[in-house]
A and B are shown apart, each in its own frame.
Chain A
Amino acid sequence: MGIELLSGVLLLCILVSFALGAPVGFALGGIAMAVGYATWGEGIFNILPNTFEATLFSFILLAIPLYIYMGQLLTRSGIGDAMFNASQLVIGKVRGSLAISVIGVCSMIGAMVGIIGAGIMTSGSIALKPMLDRGYDKRLALGVIMAGGGLGILIPPSVPMIMFAASTQNSVGKMFIAALFPALLAIIVMVAYILISCKMNPDRAPLGTGAEAKMTPKEKARTLRDGFMSVLLIFAVLGSIISGIATPTESGAIGVVGAIILAFFFKRFRLGMFRMAGMETAMLVSVAMWIILGATLFSNFHLLMGVQDMIAGFTKDLGLPPLGVIILMQLVMLGLGFIIDEFIIVLMCAPLFTPIVVDLGFDPIWFGILMILNIEIAVQTPPYGFALFYLKGIAPPDVTMLDIYKSVTPFILLKLMVLVICMLNPDLVMWLPNKVMG
């Protein structure tokens, strides 16, 4: 069977099993093993040990349990609420202000974590409930989490950026700095969208129950203090990374310890709460990781069959204008997001595409930033995307996949806009790094 036909068969199997409502991770693993058995024979089963070992022994992925645990502890002890209560006290009169505070919190989480899964699931753990509790439109709330959580790989530190720089021999530091303007642009665009959309549809973001207005000055002071303390935790975690106490992955454990200390400080620590936070985290982590296991198995099988040759082959001799080549590459990466995770996209496409781009006279760092913006979109584009599944995992049970698909659409368009702006104006990306690092 040719690779084109095989890819078609695999896609069809995905669509059918998804339509039947199969659990994503198990379906992907099952399809890979079944189609593999039919085309390759029993030998394909040997793909399992390496996939399981490499995934479950990946230190980078420990950010997922640690940060989700921190998020769960903050939420279940009510400390997460303190943060948003305080923000409502300050900017509560602006429609959509809570969503804007959430973007702010997501940006800070983005500055702590370096992978998409940790970004979205942590942001979701902390910030989804406060928005839903205050009667925010479900889709707006979910979209904000998805968009904000994606900042995890756009704001440094970022594992995909480190991988891009390494596989194309470019400066990590320069790339981190180059990402700052696109990240800022993405944040501004999202905030603007929230403000405008809430102005046009006031129902999406109710203005609060007025609880803040009825507070006595003493209660207000207390709310502000609590909010301040919880923001302090986030700064402590950030500080532990910046000051060299812990790596971005390890800092999640600092966050966990900090959240427990805060819970004691707020007199909110209960053994039951602690136990439930552990259980909920364990469940979320298991669910997320079985998706990663199944999907990795699936993409490993597809790669062993040679899907990468399809991509390697097509970029040669296209006869397109330079910008056309760049656009085509973006489309290919968006397409790859359909089946392959963010790390493999970088690992595969960075060394393949970057030399071509450099030959055409473009800056490799700029192209790397486009790639990061691109995979951020690719992993949240329906029907198949890790970010979508992570978000469903963290959302309340009554949220359906259709809700999620619909919720991400406007934010995907916004991110596409950021991508296009950065693509057409390389100077916007490169001005700061060139100024700082020459």
Chain B
Amino acid sequence: MVKKIFISYCSWIDRLVRFIGKSVSVLMPLLAIVIAYEVGSRYLFNQPTIWAQDLALFFFAYLVGLGGAYAYQKKTHINVDILYLAVSPKTKRIFDVLTGILAAFFMFVLMMIAYEKFGEALQFNYRKMSNWAPHTHHFWMMLVISGALITLQISSNMVKDIYYVIAGQALISEPEEEDTEDGN
């Protein structure tokens, strides 16, 4: 029963994070298009835009922020694995829990401060300094959400890790869904 709750909690979070992580990757081609458009518009038509630079940077920020949790899930965040690779699977899980707490603390601070900034941005109508002057409040809200997603992913990993340490077996049997399509 408890195991079932754990499983559904973890797989729900994993699915949410995966969905968002994959969705934001659409910003990558958009980012390139925006810059290419600016170059073309300026060079060919002598009409530089006032929005391309800011828009590209927003795409970039969203990509980085919202993609962070999915990278966490796929364990692609870089670590120094010299000792880590030498220890037993159980010890690895314990290490993961410890470092997860540190990361979660960082994300907690991020959420708290970014939320404060979000309120400040709304109150004083903060914008970017450019002529286009887009609002910046959504940037702070995006960081709150990014922090929350990463925290959720950490919690899902921790549930799995702690279950493994106590029960001696994986909570959800691997392998999980993998992307194999590479178009070639």
Query: Which of B6-14, B32-40, B159-167, B168-176 faces chain A?
Result: B32-40
Q: Which of B28, B39, B43, B78 contacts A291 (CB 8 A)?
A: B78
Determine whether A323 belongs to the interface, using a CB cutoff of 8 Å to chain B: no
Determine whether B152 belongs to the interface, using a CB cutoff of 8 Å to chain A: no
The number of A-B residue pairs with CB atoms under 8 Å apart is: 210
Determine whether A204 belongs to the interface, using a CB cutoff of 8 Å to chain B: no
Tell me whether A287 and B77 are in contact (CB under 8 A): yes
Provide the bound-state CA to CA distance between A383 and B80, in Å.
8
In the complex, the chain B residue whose C-beta lies closest to that of A400 is B81
Determine whether A289 belongs to the interface, using a CB cutoff of 8 Å to chain B: yes
Most buried by B among A252, A271, A289, A383: A289
The smallest beta-carbon distance between A347 and chain B, in angstroms, is: 21
In the complex, the chain A residue whose C-beta lies closest to that of B121 is A49
Provide the bound-state CA to CA distance between A66 and B36, in Å.
10
Determine whether A285 belongs to the interface, using a CB cutoff of 8 Å to chain B: yes
Provide the bound-state CA to CA distance between A313 and B83, in Å.
37
Most buried by B among A61, A253, A294, A402: A253
Determine whether A164 belongs to the interface, using a CB cutoff of 8 Å to chain B: no
Q: Which of A18, A254, A278, A283 contacts B26 (CB 8 A)?
A: A278
Contact A281 B84, CB 8 Å, known A56-B61, A66-B35: no
Provide the bound-state CA to CA distance between A392 and B80, in Å.
9
Q: Which of A57, A392, A400 contacts B85 (CB 8 A)?
A: A400
Determine whether B90 belongs to the interface, using a CB cutoff of 8 Å to chain A: no
User: Chain A's interface: helix, strand, loop or mixed, by majority?
Assistant: helix
Tell me whether B25 and A279 are in contact (CB under 8 A): yes
Determine whether A26 belongs to the interface, using a CB cutoff of 8 Å to chain B: yes
Per-position contact with B for A252-270: 1 when CB-CB < 8 Å, else 0? 1110110000000000001
Tell me whether B183 and A274 are in contact (CB under 8 A): yes
Provide the bound-state CA to CA distance between A17 and B68, in Å.
19
Determine whether B31 belongs to the interface, using a CB cutoff of 8 Å to chain A: yes
8 Å CB interface, A26-70 against B: 26-27, 29-31, 33-34, 45-46, 48-49, 52-53, 56-59, 61-62, 65-66, 69
Contact A245 B39, CB 8 Å, known A48-B109, A278-B28, A401-B82: yes
Contact A276 B35, CB 8 Å, known A45-B109, A52-B143, A65-B60: no
Per-position contact with A for B38-72: 1 when CB-CB < 8 Å, else 0? 11000100000000010011001101110110111
Provide the bound-state CA to CA distance between A58 and B64, in Å.
13
Contact A276 B106, CB 8 Å, known A245-B43, A257-B36: no
In the complex, the chain A residue whose C-beta lies closest to that of B92 is A21
Tell me whether B77 and A290 are in contact (CB under 8 A): yes
Contact A30 B184, CB 8 Å, known A21-B80, A21-B84, A65-B63: no
Residues of A within 8 A of B35 (CB): 62, 66, 250, 252-253
The smallest beta-carbon distance between B93 and chain A, in angstroms, is: 11
Tell me whether A56 and B103 are in contact (CB under 8 A): no
Tell me whether B76 and A283 are in contact (CB under 8 A): yes
Determine whether B74 belongs to the interface, using a CB cutoff of 8 Å to chain A: yes
Provide the bound-state CA to CA distance between A24 and B56, in Å.
26
Q: Which of A33, A78, A270 contacts B109 (CB 8 A)?
A: A33
Determine whether A246 belongs to the interface, using a CB cutoff of 8 Å to chain B: yes
Residues of A within 8 A of B39 (CB): 240, 245-246, 250, 253-254
Residues of B within 8 A of A192 (CB): none
In the complex, the chain A residue whose C-beta lies closest to that of B142 is A56
Q: Which of B109, B139, B183 contacts A271 (CB 8 A)?
A: B183
In the complex, the chain B residue whose C-beta lies closest to that of A282 is B25
Determine whether B16 belongs to the interface, using a CB cutoff of 8 Å to chain A: no
Determine whether A273 belongs to the interface, using a CB cutoff of 8 Å to chain B: yes
Provide the bound-state CA to CA distance between A6 and B31, in Å.
41
Tell me whether A282 and B79 are in contact (CB under 8 A): no
Most buried by B among A291, A392, A405: A392
Per-position contact with A for B88-103: 1 when CB-CB < 8 Å, else 0? 0000100110110011
Provide the bound-state CA to CA distance between A78 and B78, in Å.
27
Contact A400 B61, CB 8 Å, known A49-B117, A281-B28, A287-B76: no
The smallest beta-carbon distance between B118 and chain A, in angstroms, is: 10
In the complex, the chain A residue whose C-beta lies closest to that of B38 is A250
Determine whether A324 belongs to the interface, using a CB cutoff of 8 Å to chain B: no
Determine whether A433 belongs to the interface, using a CB cutoff of 8 Å to chain B: no
Determine whether A393 belongs to the interface, using a CB cutoff of 8 Å to chain B: yes
Determine whether A22 belongs to the interface, using a CB cutoff of 8 Å to chain B: yes
Contact A23 B77, CB 8 Å, known A34-B105, A252-B35: yes
In the complex, the chain B residue whose C-beta lies closest to that of A13 is B102
Determine whether A364 belongs to the interface, using a CB cutoff of 8 Å to chain B: no
The smallest beta-carbon distance between A366 and chain B, in angstroms, is: 35
Determine whether A304 belongs to the interface, using a CB cutoff of 8 Å to chain B: no
Determine whether B112 belongs to the interface, using a CB cutoff of 8 Å to chain A: yes
Per-position contact with B for A5-26: 1 when CB-CB < 8 Å, else 0? 0000000000001111111111
Determine whether B178 belongs to the interface, using a CB cutoff of 8 Å to chain A: no
In the complex, the chain A residue whose C-beta lies closest to that of B181 is A272
8 Å CB interface, A68-125 against B: 69, 76, 78
The smallest beta-carbon distance between B123 and chain A, in angstroms, is: 15
The smallest beta-carbon distance between A291 and chain B, in angstroms, is: 6
Q: Which of B28, B77, B79 contacts A401 (CB 8 A)?
A: B79
Tell me whether B99 and A21 are in contact (CB under 8 A): yes
Chosen A-B contacts, 12 in total, with CB atoms closer than 8 Å, are A21-B79, A33-B105, A246-B39, A246-B43, A250-B38, A270-B184, A274-B183, A283-B25, A285-B28, A285-B64, A400-B82, A401-B82
